[in-house]
Amino acid sequence: MVGPALAPSPAGGVALENANPLIYRRQGERPVTAREEDDELPDAIDDREIFDLIRSINDPEHPLTLEELNVVEQVRVKVNDAESTVSVEFTPTIPHCSMATLIGLSIKVKLIRSLPERFKVDVHITPGTHASEHAVNKQLADKERVAAALENAHLLEVVNQCLSGRP
Amino acid sequence: MMAAGGADVDAGAPGSQLQPWERESAAREAAEGVKAGTCTILDVVETLGSPLENADPQMRARGLQMLSEVLLQCYSLLQEKEVTHLVLFFENRLKDHHAVIPSVLQGLKALSMCAALAPGLAVSVLKAIFQEVHVQSLLQLDRHTVYSIITNFMSSREAELKSLGADFTFGFIQVMDGEKDPRNLLVAFQIVRDIIVKGYALGPFVEELFEVTSCYFPIDFIPPPNDPHGIQREDLIASLRAVLTSTPAFAEFLLPLLIEKMDSDVQSAKMDSLQTMNAACMIYGQKELKDFLSSLWSSLRREVFQTASERIESEGLSTLRALSTCLSRSVLSSDDEDLLDSFLRGILQDCRHHLCEPDMKLVWPSAKLLQAAAGGSLRAYYQITKSVFPLLVEQYNKHLQSSQHRTILEVLLGFLELRQKWGHEEEDKSPLLCSKDALCSMVFSALVEPNVQLQLVGIRALTFLGLLQGLLDLPDMDRLVNSLAQFILHEEDSQTSLAAMEAAGTLTPFYPEAFSRCLVQKLSEGLQSELREDSTQFQQDRCLQALAAVSTHPSIMKETVPVLLQHLQKVQKGSTQAGVQSVVSVCQSLKQMALQCHQNAQNYWYFHQAVVPCLMGLAVQAAMQENTHTMLSKVLLTEEALSAMVLVISAACMYLSPELAAQSVSKAVPLFLDGELSFLPGNSFPSTFQPFQDGQRPVQTQKKLVALLMAFVCSLPRNVPIPQQDRLLRDLLALSCSSDCLFTATAAAKCFAGLVNKHPAGPQLDELLGAAMDKLEQGLNEGPHRIQALTLLLWVSKALLLRYHPLTTHLTDKLLMLLGDTVLGPAVGDGFALLMADSPDVLGKSCHADMRLMFRQRFFTECVPQLVQGFHTAAPGVKANYLKGLSHILNHLPKPVLVTELPTLLPLLLEALSCSDHVVQLSTLHCLQPLLLDAPLVVSLHVDTLVGKFLTLTDSPAMAIRIAALQCLHALASLPTPVVIPYKPRVIRALAKPLDDKKRLVRKEAVTARGEWFLLGTPGR
């Protein structure tokens, strides 16, 4: 098990931790370029493509996306296609956010499901934005813990809810 | 025992014994007798005498029921005296045993419909019912009968009922108290509403009447499954709401109830309360609202500040707006306080400070509340903005980040947009005028900040400022136009320049002089600047786009049209170094202008006269000079340029009135048939123009211009006579089958088809089609022009298919046969797309083509069985042609038709997926994808094959096919989980590969599809 930090569920009817978050504008769909429509030319996987994968993940607490809450930003996404590495920093809305691990887990799962297996995926908290930054990062980097967490039906349900599109 | 009491009712059949099931027919016979005048209703009563007086209540009930049935059929024939007797009889029976009551009520219902009811009887019936019957202990149907009796009397004896005073209201309250059935409630609510609206006396029973109805609020009703009555929750809600909001007298009871329900946790109760409040505002005034305003405000504020659902938020805002409107509307007596004033003061006090907080957290909810309150009336708008505008300016100057600036500007934009609601009014002393300078400088300063989003908001804010006529003075306006010009000409971001063009187009009709002076001039200069580098071409395109966008006012259009035409003239003379692209751009702008001005007949006619002859003249000149002049003039004769001109000419002709069209076409056709040049401007034509005459090379070039003729004559309304139509059609027919140039041949074939489609039926058309068939036979069989003949065949088939012409079948057979042709077959297969698709040009709706609604279905049913059979018997080499044809047909069919035909077609479609032809694969995938979602049952049977084939196609060399295959796999995931879950591991594994596809668009689909398969069968999906 991943530890108590993952346990609280938003469905419990408890008051929201951050009831009135600041809402940011969503980026539009990435415009399709002529190059992308050309059958022959290869398109490298770039920062925006990774960002598009995670920006529509739902927040576990609000009916909003991580992008709208500014939890993920394109500038905090780094990808190197040639070396097959991805690094994503995310910023919890408040420093004591108990959902931080759950959000990180959702991002990680989404990337693992959506990227070719050759990629090494690193998801961590933007430095200095969360009280227990270290502990959360450690949990997210631990493969076995992540795998174990996903075998927990309740957790998987919450993660899947975050990952399925808006109702 | 005697079944129906020996109802010897008909004089014609005395003494006959009736079985119970014969009672109805006996009643009908008796009614017939009464209607025919062979007996009277009193005879019937007398004959029924023994059962009516029988000691057994069951027997009495039967007798009464029989009588009631007779009455229901012939109540309209009764005499006043008979009615009086019957009423007294039935009233008396109300005191009888409870088992007879239902039948008595039936009889009273019949009598309540009598026109011959003596005065006073209605009241006496109702009094008797109120007194003798305990309605709520009756069955649903019998309660309904009571409501019907009341409804009948209310519609025919209103004055009489009103004489009962409040007793009637009280009586009804007792009747409906405790009603549970939704069917009866709908009627009861309607009665209460009528009681109130039609002004029956409520007396001291206002609160009781409110109680007896409001106890159902909020409506909590879920219709049972398979409910035959079809009553929805919404019906009850609307009907109850109409009652509750029918009188201000309910206000003191309703408002506390609504506030209580707004504060509840049940979303539907909140929603219903807000909507009911909204409706109540329509009839309330300040007197009713006075004591509740502060609680209402705090409830509404909570819904917006702590919003749980977008729907409730927007309903809350709309209620606030309704409140503000309601308070603004109220007439004040001299010593009343203006509640609007204090209400808005409270709102401002609660929201203002949020606009000033440095972290700007609650800016949006506050702004929404303020805008909703301001939206109530112009007075409210003035009061709110008087305080908000200076505040926004102050905050804008205090904040430094552009994202904060954007938020503030967006709030301002909302307020400016709101002002549009009330139309033009003197802005004298209005807050807008007072803050005008500060607002303008704020908006103008936003435009120079290097942030595209901010600029976009700034441009929209400027547009709204400009739309408030009389607000901006001349220097402001010049500054505005200059900023727009700056964006249009020099901004690299296309979003911004597009927004600026749009703003210019919106504002031009209001300030034509300013735009003419400051913008049009700059644009035409920009167009004339010689092309030195590549970047100027880009700028020229911008200018062309902008010229079209600002041509929204007649006076501006008269300046811009000549600028564009001069530009083309220069291209034609070779005096400017322009490529085809610039001709195409000019034509696009001209087309946009044509579509913008078509609503104003006068402008459109000006445009037609200025543009069409000029374009044709330039092309004719170019065609005549072709072999003598430079290469440059050829630009206008390229197929790309001609096609662009076709669109302009078509757009400039399709909205002409029949009279003007006839006038113009009478000059255009002789130009092509007889070389009559008077239609064209100028007179410098070096040689003759004879596109239909046979001849050498220069004439070949002239023939291409048939495309322009096509654009003209095929876009006209159906009833415009085309001069020398028969000759023209024969020339077109000959040209379409003999030209070596495909462009020319296709244009001629389309022109022929376009005219044939509109040609009135009759011997002339038959003869013409006969000639066309001969030409087709000849051309298709042999010779160098088989492709041309096929093009003609396809277009003529389409023209006739659209109007359901009987010859269509013959032509379709021909096409089906040609599918087996080794050379033409593939082109025929592709041609089915042309037959089925909406034609954008000559045979389209905009060109007034004669088009029947169901032509696709008709073609489908006629053609598909043969197509399927042809596929099975065809040689292996040409099978793909049939599949291609089929998938084109299916792709264009409405989905419902397809779903019903799917079971028979699916095996063939699966075969098509394995066909190696990419076009077939792609169109089959496109055809299958929506079916996977719409016909899960049929598709489920083939899921194994489908998964396999789709997965194979994700590896196709063509990107479009990989994408379509992945979309199909995505759709498969929506089939019932038990059907697809066995394939989950296989699909997820196989989809790992397209995740690493070299094309981004493919990866995107792979991610979506794989994500969906991962969710299959897991919790939280």
pLDDT of residue B2 exceeding 60, the answer is no
Q: Determine, for residues A157 and B1020 on separate chains, whether the beta-carbon distance falls below 8 Å.
A: yes
Closest chain B CA to residue A27: B453
Whole-angstrom distance, CA of residue B97 vs CA of residue A7: 69
Q: What separation in angstroms does the CA of A95 have from each of A14, A24, A128, B306?
A: 19, 18, 9, 21
Using a CB–CB cutoff of 8 Å, tell me whether B970 touches chain A. no
Which residue out of B359, B1000, B1005 would a mutagenesis test of the A interface target, given it has the greatest number of A Cβ atoms within 10 Å? Answer: B1000
Enumerate the domain spans of chain A: 43-163
Using a CB–CB cutoff of 8 Å, tell me whether B305 touches chain A. yes
Using a CB–CB cutoff of 8 Å, tell me whether B494 touches chain A. no
What average pLDDT does the segment B550-557 reach? 87
Give me the long-range contacts of B36-40 (CB less than 8 A, separation at least 24): B38/B10, B38/B11, B38/B12, B39/B9, B39/B10, B39/B11, B40/B82
What average pLDDT does the segment B880-908 reach? 85
Interface confidence, given as ipTM, is 0.89
Question: What does the DSSP 8-state code read for residue B760?
Answer: P
Quote the percentage of chain B above a pLDDT of 90.
40
Interface of A with B (CB under 8 A): 19-20, 22-23, 25, 32, 36-37, 39, 42-43, 45, 49, 52-53, 110, 113-118, 153-154, 156-161, 163-164
pLDDT of residue B412 exceeding 90, the answer is yes
pLDDT of residue B923 exceeding 60, the answer is yes
The pLDDT score that the predictor gives to residue A13 is 38
SS3 state at A88: strand
Of A114, A153, A158, Cβ closest to residue B1011: A114
Residues 6+ apart with CB under 8 A from B971: B929, B930, B932, B933
pLDDT of residue A16 exceeding 70, the answer is no
pLDDT band at B116 (very low <50, low <70, confident <90, very high): confident
Residues 6+ apart with CB under 8 A from B225: none
Q: Determine, for residues B1011 and A118 on separate chains, whether the beta-carbon distance falls below 8 Å.
A: no
pLDDT in tens, B758-791: 999 999 999 999 999 998 988 888 888 889 999 9
Of B992, B995, B1019, Cβ closest to residue A160: B1019
Whole-angstrom distance, CA of residue B706 vs CA of residue B732: 9
pLDDT in tens, B502-546: 999 999 988 888 888 888 888 888 777 655 455 567 777 888 888
Whole-angstrom distance, CA of residue B887 vs CA of residue A11: 48
Q: Which two tokens stand for residue B244?
A: 């509750």
Taken in order of first residue, the domains within chain B and their CATH numbers are 581-700+707-716 (no CATH), 724-893 (no CATH), 904-1021 (1.25.10.10)
**B1004 vs A contacts (CB less than 8 Å):** 52
Using a CB–CB cutoff of 8 Å, tell me whether B984 touches chain A. no
**Per-residue DSSP letters for B941-981?**
HTHHHHHHHHHHHTT-SSHHHHHHHHHHHHHHTTS-HHHHG
The pLDDT score that the predictor gives to residue B16 is 40
The pLDDT score that the predictor gives to residue B257 is 95
Q: Determine, for residues B999 and A42 on separate chains, whether the beta-carbon distance falls below 8 Å.
A: yes
Q: Determine, for residues A32 and B360 on separate chains, whether the beta-carbon distance falls below 8 Å.
A: no
Q: What is the CATH number of domain A43-163?
A: 3.30.300.130
Q: Determine, for residues B1020 and A25 on separate chains, whether the beta-carbon distance falls below 8 Å.
A: no
**A35 vs B contacts (CB less than 8 Å):** none
Using a CB–CB cutoff of 8 Å, tell me whether B995 touches chain A. yes
**B996 vs A contacts (CB less than 8 Å):** 116, 118
Amino acid at B380: A
Q: Are strands A77-80 and A85-90 parallel, antiparallel or unpaired?
A: antiparallel
Quote the percentage of chain B above a pLDDT of 70.
93
pLDDT in tens, A145-167: 888 888 888 888 888 888 886 43
Residues 6+ apart with CB under 8 A from B741: B700, B703, B704
**B1003 vs A contacts (CB less than 8 Å):** 45, 49
What average pLDDT does the segment B172-189 reach? 93
Amino acid at B657: S
Of A23, A43, A116, Cβ closest to residue B1000: A43
**A43 vs B contacts (CB less than 8 Å):** 998-1000
Say if residues B289 and B327 touch (Cβ distance below 8 Å).
yes
Least confident of B3-12, B374-383, B977-986: B3-12
User: Which run of H or E residues covers position B484?
Assistant: helix B474-490
pLDDT in tens, B656-710: 999 999 999 998 898 888 888 888 887 777 777 888 877 655 677 888 889 999 9
Question: What does the DSSP 8-state code read for residue B743?
Answer: H
pLDDT of residue B6 exceeding 70, the answer is no
Using a CB–CB cutoff of 8 Å, tell me whether B992 touches chain A. yes
What average pLDDT does the segment B168-196 reach? 94
**Per-residue DSSP letters for B153-166?**
HHHH-HHHHHTTTH
The pLDDT score that the predictor gives to residue A25 is 67
SS3 state at A122: strand
Highest mean pLDDT among B43-52, B399-408, B972-981: B972-981
Query: Position of tokens 């003039």?
Result: B633
Q: What separation in angstroms does the CA of B91 have from each of A66, A156, B88, B101, B103?
A: 73, 72, 5, 10, 12
Name the minimum distance, in Å, from the CA of A142 to any CA of chain B. 22
pLDDT averaged over every residue in chain B: 86
pLDDT band at A7 (very low <50, low <70, confident <90, very high): very low
Q: Which residue has the higher pLDDT, B107 or B518?
A: B107
Of B453, B996, B1000, Cβ closest to residue A116: B996
**A53 vs B contacts (CB less than 8 Å):** 1007
Q: Which two tokens stand for residue B359?
A: 């972290």
Closest chain B CA to residue A21: B361
Q: What separation in angstroms does the CA of B781 have from each of B373, B688, B817, B823, B927?
A: 77, 36, 12, 12, 34
Q: Which two tokens stand for residue B41?
A: 């209703």
Name the minimum distance, in Å, from the CA of A76 to any CA of chain B. 18
Going by C-alpha positions, the residue among B211, B190, B206, B311 that lies closest to residue B257 is B211
pLDDT band at B22 (very low <50, low <70, confident <90, very high): low
pLDDT of residue B491 exceeding 80, the answer is no
